[in-house]
Amino acid sequence: MTLKDLAAFPTQRPVAAAAAPDWLIGCFRRRSITFFSGQCDASTEVYWLQTRGICADIRVSPHRPRARGRVSLHDFTESELALLAQAEGGAARTEWNGASMRWFGWQAFQLHDKWPETGCLRRIGDCLIEFAPNDAYVEDWRLQSSSPGPVLGLQLIEERVPKTGKVTHCGGALIVCGDHAALVRGRPGGAQIPELELFSCEASYAVRDPASGDFTIALSTNPLREGQILCIHDGFELDHEAQQVRQRVEVDGELRERVFTVDTLEPQHHFRRSSDVSAGTAAWMASEAETLLAHAEGGPCD
């Protein structure tokens, strides 16, 4: 079963009351975060992908070491590994109450949650503003362009080697929002981990190539993964009795089986850059467009 087939499969599940609304579904890139101190970070590369009830995100410093010329993590120096270890990424369940979102149940690269608070969210155009309820910061997120396409949210239970039964990852998620995707694979063991085992948790963000249809990893907590194909095109099987999705995929030359539970399966979603306003507001915009939009970027919203 392909990804497209899976997304089109009827789940017959009602949308939960705490599910994210249409305007929160998609892939967002952070433009900036401003703290109460007046300091602003517009350099860290941050992506957030959201489905109805789960999300994934990844946060990487622009100054971290790159993987050019390296073939394994052992090719990085100790100081370089320390910088790589500062990346953030993970997957969590979400609850939306109509004004704010709560994130919980993280499977994450970092060993502690530095963002435990809820987020007060408001969307205008393609801009999503997130306020911390304690006024610690405000974040400016921008919806990333995407052609209409599927939205999938699959929670990873585990990834294992079928031949031996060895579990390679526990927890995480596979999320697809049109032309954007994220794969989070948690660690096989507990939080107490030695040295390079920190990197056994992976969070990767990928973008679909319109020509080939492949999703290529653009950013990852493991820089060695960047530029690789995210293998999520096919290999899926829906287990009706267990209400699970299984995927068989080759990873580093070895067959793996991933077992997921389903959060979201939607075959076609329109990722609108515009937001709704009153007729009066739309009329004001039309009448004043000559000056209001004289220097606006991005073209008309759909």
In a domain, 276, yes or no: no
> In this structure, what token pair is assigned to residue 269?
């979603």
How far is the C-alpha of 152 from the C-alpha of 258, rounded, in Å?
15
At 297 the pLDDT is 82
What would you measure as the largest C-alpha separation in the chain, in angstroms?
68
69 Ramachandran zone, left/alpha/beta (phi>0; psi -120 to 50) = left
Total count of domains within the chain: 1
* DSSP 8-state assignment for residue 145: P
In a domain, 91, yes or no: yes
The answer to whether 89 and 114 are in contact (CB under 8 A) is no
- The enclosing domain of 54 has a CATH number of 2.40.128.280
Helices (H) and strands (E) in the chain, counts: 3, 19
What is the residue-wise DSSP string for 85-122?
TT-EEEEEEEEE-SSEEEEEEEEESSSS-S--S-EEEE
At 112 the pLDDT is 87
The answer to whether 65 and 223 are in contact (CB under 8 A) is yes
Q: 48: closest CA among 131, 136, 141, 126?
A: 141
In a domain, 301, yes or no: no
> Quick count: other Cβ atoms within 10 Å of Cβ 12?
5
* DSSP 8-state assignment for residue 15: P
Only one residue has tokens 């070895």, namely 254
H helix intervals, the chain: 3-7, 78-84, 279-292
In a domain, 300, yes or no: no
Q: pLDDT tens string for the chain (302 positions)? A: 999 999 988 765 556 779 999 999 999 999 999 999 999 999 999 999 999 999 999 999 999 998 988 999 999 999 999 999 999 999 999 999 999 999 999 999 998 888 889 999 999 999 999 999 999 999 999 999 999 999 999 999 999 999 999 999 999 999 999 999 999 999 986 544 555 678 899 999 999 999 999 999 999 999 999 999 999 999 999 887 778 999 999 988 899 999 999 999 999 999 999 999 999 999 999 999 999 999 998 755 55
> In this structure, what token pair is assigned to residue 273?
């850059």
In a domain, 40, yes or no: yes
In a domain, 288, yes or no: no
In a domain, 154, yes or no: yes
Strands 40-41 and 167-170: unpaired
Q: What are the φ and ψ backbone dihedral angles of 211, each rounded to 5 degrees?
A: -80, -50
Domain span at 117: 3-269
The answer to whether 273 and 253 are in contact (CB under 8 A) is no
In a domain, 291, yes or no: no
